[in-house]
Amino acid sequence: MTQTHDLDATGLLCPLPVLKARKRLSALASGDVLRVVTDDPAAVVDVPHFCTEAGHALEDSAEDGPRMIWHIRKR
């Protein structure tokens, strides 16, 4: 069964949101989804790049005011 987990990375600057997402994903089961909330403008480039390099699926992303919400499915 797929589970969704949350990571609030607001207030963190590059590269911390990606580093925390990497650590959190390493503890999840394959197929689980990590919902990451960021407010670092660099995350717009960093998160998709991280997903591509690590082989995770970026399910979607959405703006919520100054924040971005990412859904990453672990490979």
Q: Which of 14, 16, 19, 37 is catalytic?
A: 14
Q: First-to-last CA distance in the chain?
A: 14
What is the H or E stretch that residue 60 is in? strand 57-64
Active site (annotated) includes residue 14: yes
Distance CA 68, CA 1 (A): 26
Q: Catalytic residues, which ones?
A: 14
